[in-house]
A and B are shown apart, each in its own frame.
Chain A
């Protein structure tokens, strides 16, 4: 069967207890913003596939890699601790099974983009998952520490691209920025096939005022 080369996008979202109330509403709203925004872009509509992983006391993939038209909003609730390590391992597993690598026989997908958001400090053995992340190459790996309680130092060990959102009430600025980042990537000629060895840092749009880039 003819295949289309997909741009996989993983949203890895903190749903720990501290996200309860307005922040978790903002996460739900954020997913809607991303899907609605991308559905308005014909190029994104034909290429982008979104997968959602949530993590609290454990991590799980709540939405498998899904095209924008079939995307169904997941049920998301906030409770438990912040198992960042589980989230990273779940991400690796999902990418390994869902992202098609190019070969002699198939074109393969573009390298996946990852957007990770957490409002706290990891509570599990997260450092042991870092080599797993580094072993793989990503089209983009953005980690965002949201709110005053978020620690960006651990995130900096996971990826170069770390953002700090000062207030969780500004979360939807982050999600809007995520959707424009995906749009930029899907429109650019710089997407990298999943089988390519080297990963080129993705070109990301400037961040809004509420978000700073952690050097």
Chain B
């Protein structure tokens, strides 16, 4: 959650607070925010503000030192500032932006305003070497800001979080601008002469998302990414990954998604959840609900039998439901349906229990600055069960799925005339943009009707949170088929084509130069993941751009995979690591789409022979 929204929510720290601590608190808040230090609680801001308002150096130093022990982002500079007071600087990994907060002119004249606020405002920023050390060629100290707004796009100091010089195209300018008086918090006065003091600066917009590590001090730590792969029941395999979204990375907050994959007997069980981005403890909800739903399914499906249907007619009968109750007529399917409904209920109960435990233990009180509420644990839930069945002598995959909230489970069929089929409808809350959450769920009686089923020639099944679904929602101008194509194009999923077919495809599109141009036009700026060492620079091709550059559609590429294989001749795989789930993780983590900020989770179920085209 951003400071702005915390501020809005709590109503604390308004400009009405004219006390000296209040003023410093404002300054500290704004300062930390601009430094992109994720302030995890208002309580911490109060602590820092109190430290800075303290009348003598000894008291100041004691409080600041205690704070710095807790938070490695904070560094106390031992040199006293010109006013003789210890000042505080935030040093962030790769923290390049050093806008200075200048206290307002009217407040500057106030005798009650603590001197240290001025010290913060007027002294040169110090980028201290905390976390990964920048390379020696990178200057550590920036010059003091000039008196008027000025932005210096500076190649020599632009660096990635690990201190490497980036591609100049991605250079992040070092903004040494001080905010002019008219732009200061609480100034409230316009320039007397009406002159332009603050032109719209084109450079200011070249802002990069800066990933920050997850705050280590919050309860219920949650690894920021994960990936796995393996075998499921009845000749199915899976690959899965989850990654922190750019908004959470930028704010230094946690990934709120979770997934669980299990098997029991003939059944493969997939649960996926997306914790509410605006709720700090939502990851606890996401984790506990997926664990609970799979655990319930394991118990209830242990002895469950599959329908005895074999022919098309028998299956058509079996998949019929009873009127408004939504119950399957077929007794075996009814048991499975009841298990899914029960798993959602069990997931709900599990989240309530986790919440009550934490409320009783006070575990979250400090981080939240209050006693937790159930809504702090909001999450969505998507549950799917899959088994292989006999259908007119061929093996098909039967999948039943239900969900509360957004995200999507999509069945992909091997027949080209069948488009990808979502298995359950997305829920929305009172307003269309607001999703429904498990802990708010009330329509238990209607849950039967929300269990969707599919039985058709199987290519693959994808269960994903909103972070992926929103990108490929057909209304976004993309399509769910694009996911599969992009995974092939980037060599997340292996794709083999005969050499002569690829040669022919390259000839058809106009030769190797056309191909190289298409790859260049579809290549996303190289990104590097902060979250794992050694950080690997990855290269992602956008399948929409690639198809467009070849004057094709993405469906054309899927119909003629040689066109994607051709790209592999001139573009490396997404990662040097050959593990499929790791490449999947690289893709969901690195795929950059404007206006998309969410955590991303994807679970892909496929035949053990792989995804075919």
Contacts and interface: CB of A to CB of B under 8 A. Distances in A.
Contacts of A29: 182, 190-191, 196-198
A190 B183 CA distance: 28
Contacts of B192: 22
B433 interface: yes
A190 B433 contact: yes
B477 A106 contact: yes
Given A106-B477, A171-B190, A205 B433 contact: no
Interface string B470-494: 0001111110000000000000000
Interface stretch (A10-18, A39-47, A80-88, A90-98): A39-47
A114 B11 CA distance: 22
A198 interface: yes
Measured as residues with beta carbon below 8 angstroms from the partner, the interface class of chain A is: 35 or more
B250 interface: yes
B4 A209 contact: no
Interface in A162-189: 169-173, 176, 180, 183-184, 187-189
Contact of B189 (A6, A170, A180): A170
Contact of B477 (A1, A188, A200): A1
A2 B182 contact: no
Interface string B423-456: 0000000111110000000000000000000000
A107 B473 contact: yes
A194 B5 CA distance: 22
A21 B195 CA distance: 11
A138 interface: no
Contacts of B197: 29
Interface string B168-195: 0000000000000011011111111011
A195 to B, nearest CB: 7
B182 A33 contact: yes
Contacts, number: 166
Interface string B1-20: 11011011101001110100
Contacts of A203: 5, 8-9
Contact of B595 (A5, A108, A189, A209): A5
Interface in A126-182: 169-173, 176, 180
Interface of B: 1-2, 4-5, 7-9, 11, 14-16, 18, 34, 99, 182-183, 185-192, 194-202, 204-205, 207-209, 246-247, 250, 276-278, 430-434, 473-478, 544, 593-595, 597
Interface of A: 1-6, 21-22, 25-26, 28-29, 31-33, 35-37, 39-43, 45-47, 68-69, 71, 73, 102-108, 110, 169-173, 176, 180, 183-184, 187-193, 195-196, 198, 200, 203-210
21 contacts: A5-B595, A6-B595, A21-B194, A22-B192, A25-B195, A26-B194, A33-B182, A40-B207, A69-B202, A102-B432, A105-B475, A189-B433, A190-B431, A193-B433, A196-B433, A203-B5, A205-B8, A206-B8, A206-B14, A207-B14, A208-B188
Given A33-B183, A208-B15, 18 more contacts: A25-B195, A29-B190, A29-B197, A32-B196, A35-B200, A36-B198, A36-B200, A36-B204, A41-B207, A43-B250, A45-B205, A102-B432, A171-B190, A188-B278, A189-B278, A206-B15, A207-B14, A209-B16
